[in-house]
Structure 1
Amino acid sequence: MTSAAWTRYDAPIGPLLLAATDEGLVLVVFRADEVTAARAVEAVGRRLGCTPVEDAARLAPVTAQLDEYFAGSRKDFDLPLDWSLITGFQRRVLRELAEGVPYGTVVGYQDLADRVGEPDAARAVGGAMGANPLPVVVPCHRVIESGGGIGGFGGGLEIKRHLLALEGVLPAPLF
């Protein structure tokens, strides 16, 4: 049986819910106020077949790396990831994103489709970004429109802009 733990993390982009299994980090949720966090914990528990417990100590390695990332001193996450919440094409796309699009760079939806050998699937890449259970750590904020537009983002465009500015892709907001 899978066991899972969760905690809320106060990030500069707003509260995040973090959940992990014995395999690794399994879920990151934006805007994790108490109600959103409770719903996410219940939903991930159903998907995993367990009752996640609140355990900040178990997620301390994740929060430590997030602290470093948001402070600008970490460029790559070195965390075990549990990919069990995503399968097939979406998993392939997200793994390519995690492994092949480094800090401070961006990739277009079409480019990412080409990288996974599915040149007609640029729109499906957008679907994979929207289904990403591990945003920030699996950097879907680095995927932009082929014409250079910022594109969409499940966490909201303000968060996407903040993350891209943190990585030096966009200028920091003036206020």
Structure 2
Amino acid sequence: MGKPVSVDLNILIETPNWSVLTSLLRIPRGKVCTYGELGKFFKMNPRAMGRIMGMNPFPLIIPCHRVIRSDMSLGGYSYGVDLKRKILEREGVKINRTNKVDISSLYRFTEAEV
């Protein structure tokens, strides 16, 4: 398993959705957040969160793979759900055979973080 690295992404790109994408850096390895939970803090629809994840220009650096559906299923990933599952499992997320994440892996943002 690789080690987390620190990269100053602010020098790489600025987009209208940049604050949403960079907020994903706060989700620790081994944890996931739902599209709905993330959307609450940005006052956006969960589907809008999904579209933003799909536009992520750095999917392995900005961990959009750590965002899942509210029913705890994996949802989509630009490189396929199988790879999303493998990455999450390597990070320590528990996923059952029906691709549902264990509730213990859920991360919740606080007002102070976002």
Normalising by structure 1, we get a TM-score of 0.50
Q: CA deviation at 1:143?
A: 0.4
Paired residue secondary structure (1:93): helix
**Counterpart in 2 of 1:166?**
90
**Counterpart in 2 of 1:92?**
19
Q: CA deviation at 1:83?
A: 4.2
- Structural mapping, 1:44-123, within 5 Å: 72-74=1-3, 76-81=4-9, 82-84=11-13, 87-88=15-16, 90-98=17-25, 100-116=26-42, 118=43, 120-123=44-47
Paired residue secondary structure (2:71): coil
Equivalent residue pairs, number: 96
Structure with bigger strand share is 1
Counterpart-to-counterpart distance in 2, 1:92 and 1:122: 15
Q: Deviations over 1:45-78 (max 9, x none)?
A: xxxxxxxxxxxxxxxxxxxxxxxxxxx251x321
Counterpart-to-counterpart distance in 1, 2:2 and 2:33: 22
Paired residue secondary structure (1:160): helix
In structure 2, give the amino acid aligned to 1:103.
R
CA RMSD in angstroms comes to 2.0
- Higher RCO (C-alpha under 8 Å, 6+ residues apart): 2
In structure 1, give the amino acid aligned to 2:8.
P
Structure 1, unaligned runs of 5 or more: 1-71
Counterpart-to-counterpart distance in 2, 1:158 and 1:73: 19
Q: CA deviation at 1:110?
A: 0.7
State whether residues 161 and 170 of structure 1, in contact with CA within 8 Å, keep that contact through their aligned partners in structure 2. Answer: no
Q: CA deviation at 1:170?
A: 3.1
Q: Deviations over 1:77-114 (max 9, x none)?
A: 21222442x511x212101112x211110000011112
In structure 2, give the amino acid aligned to 1:156.
G
Q: Deviations over 1:110-154 (max 9, x none)?
A: 1111223x1x42111000100000111110110000110110000
In structure 2, give the amino acid aligned to 1:101.
I
**Counterpart in 1 of 2:66?**
142
Structure 2, unaligned runs of 5 or more: 98-114
State whether residues 96 and 115 of structure 1, in contact with CA within 8 Å, keep that contact through their aligned partners in structure 2. Answer: no
Normalising by structure 2, we get a TM-score of 0.75
| Fraction of identical pairs, as percent | 36
Counterpart-to-counterpart distance in 1, 2:87 and 2:27: 14
